[in-house]
Amino acid sequence: MKERYQFLFEPLYLPNQIRLKNRVVMAPMTHMSSQPDGSISDQEVEYYARRAQGVSMVITAATWVTPNGGIPGAPAADRDAVIPGLRKLASAIQEQGAKAILQIFHSGRQASLTGDLVSASAVPEQKEGAIVPRELTENEAEELIHAYGQAARRAVEAGFDGVEIHGANGNLLHQFFSPFTNRRSDRFGGTLEKRMTFALEIVDEVKRIAAVHAKKPFIIGYRLSPEEPDTPGITMAETLPFVDALAMKGLDYLHISLKNYEAVPRRGIVDSRTRLAIIQERAGRQLPVIGVGNVQTPEDAIKALQTGVQLVALGRVLVMEPDWMKLIAEGDEDGVQTTLSLQDQHKLVIPNGMWQLILSVPGWFPVAQEP
């Protein structure tokens, strides 16, 4: 291994004293490969097991907490009947030496499993033909807080090492925090502080459930998107107080969802540093920050860590090269596969649903066409 990349392999202790064996985690990615009812499929288990050997943690695809928050092909944690499948998935990851983290979410106005489309407010997505969602009542929002807690309980009972509360990428928690999608006037909307309430109460409930049910330290992380393009929308000026509030909750990590780890703020603050560096300065003394976004090479990973963050997440690169960590450790970074061919699905253990999604979304993955 090149000396420059040694830090990628340094262990890290989380605030709850769980030891991670290195600084690289597998990012959560849509795989479209669970059973129609959200139960875990064999292809899903094999996909994660193939990629869990080198990284310190595997964060699963977003797993819905109630059916009206689900999307096709996504896993579910909404009922006890799915626990055996979740247990099989957690064990497959852990057997390869990685911590297993179940990402829990509700997709809000992005959902498509049921006809009950809900959101923080009746604001549709900004796309042609978008359906206007129904605004959740205050009681329904409180029931969803309970649902997140129960999903966390099922993760504990299935043997996962932790959960990641998914509040990024436009899902329901994002919708409650954003002034663009949250037009409420009750305790869940209005001021910046009230728009934080839904997410912070979910964190409290998940922590309470873990304290009751987990018999050993249990990792609880939170993922957020620091800005959005809509106006009015989330800006860094709003995200930084939210980061402060999350850091005070005793979480084990904060995961920043970015398309590029080098991205700088759009608006809200005047600062030429990257969003990652700014958030790291704000919260890094209290909990580890995970950076993600267009990290492909070990050089990218080192540059991301040089912002000060303690962990870096890999997504597409681990789909294309499951042995990324092994090759870096052996000094063979030139051997890392950086494109897909049409013949790669079975060799790389990519589930059918994900493979079809890769081929149907131009530019998502670099797919080399046959000559």
What pLDDT is stored for residue 242 in this prediction?
98
Residue 338 structure tokens: 């950086």
Determine the pLDDT at residue 229: 86
Q: Report the Cα–Cα distance between both ends of the chain, in Å, rounded.
A: 35
State the average pLDDT over residues 330-352: 95
Residue predicted with more confidence, 223 or 294: 223
Q: What are phi and psi of 204, to 5 degrees?
A: -60, -45
Write the pLDDT tens digit of every residue in 243-276: 999 999 999 999 999 988 898 998 889 999 999 9
Parallel/antiparallel/unpaired status of strands 118-119 and 134-135: parallel
Two structure tokens written together for 38: 């959200």
Cα(124)–Cα(344) distance, integer angstroms: 38
pLDDT at 369 over 80: no
Q: What is the mean pLDDT of residues 154-166?
A: 98
CATH superfamily assigned to domain 3-331: Aldolase class I (3.20.20.70)
pLDDT of residue 1: 82
Q: What is the mean pLDDT of residues 19-31?
A: 97
Burial class (CB in 10 A: 0-12, 13-18, 19+), 110: buried
Q: What is the residue-wise DSSP string for 96-159?
A: TT-EEEEEEE--GGG--SSS--EESSS---SSTTPPPPEEPPHHHHHHHHHHHHHHHHHHHHTT
Averaged pLDDT of the chain = 95
The pair of structure tokens assigned to 196 is 């934080």
Q: What is the pLDDT of residue 114?
A: 82
- 202, containing H or E segment: helix 192-213
Question: What tens digit of pLDDT does each residue of 167-195 get?
Answer: 999 999 999 999 999 999 999 999 999 99
| Mean pLDDT value across residues 66-83 | 97
Residue 206 near residue 220, CB atoms below 8 Å: yes
- Which residues 6+ apart lie within 8 Å of 330 measured at CB? 1
Domain positions in the chain: 3-331
pTM passes above 0.75: yes
How buried is 21 (Cβ within 10 angstroms: 0-12 exposed, 13-18 middle, 19+ buried)? Answer: middle
Per-residue pLDDT, 370: 64
β-strands 12-13, 19-20: how paired?
antiparallel
- Residue 206, pLDDT > 80, answer yes
